[in-house]
Amino acid sequence: MSKTRRQYSSEFKAKVALAALKGDETTSALAARFEIHPSMVSQWKRELLDNAAGLFEGSSGKAAQKNQEEVDTLYREIGKLTVERDFLSRRLER
């Protein structure tokens, strides 16, 4: 039988990472308390430190990226429709 992987919520990960940042307990003690592997504590702590600057950017950073993706998608669609229109107009001219 295969085991399914446990999925942890982002709130739980943040709670563990913040506890690790405090430094009151060792990584092993935190892992035992939260019933997870010690490497996960270290990984989540590292992710929190790496992404901490993004918390203070506000939604403008994420919104700008999402908007740019939308614009790219729309430009692709415009290009596709332009090619189709040109093709059909040439067919009608014949």
| Rounded CA separation 46/60 (Å) | 24
Tokens read off for 24: 């009151």
Q: How much is the average pLDDT of 63-91?
A: 91
Residue (of 51, 37, 41, 46) closest to 15 by Cα position: 41
pLDDT value, residue 2:
73
- Calpha distance 94→92 (Å, rounded): 5
pLDDT at 92: 84
Q: Is the pLDDT of residue 24 over 80?
A: yes
Q: Three-state DSSP class for 34? A: helix
User: Is residue 63 predicted with pLDDT exceeding 70?
Assistant: yes
What's the whole-number mean pLDDT along residues 54-63? 69
Q: What residues does each domain of the chain span? A: 7-57, 58-93
Task: State the residue for tokens 């935190």.
Answer: 30
Q: How far apart are alpha carbons 50 and 23 in whole angstroms?
A: 17
Q: Percentage of the chain surpassing pLDDT 70?
A: 93
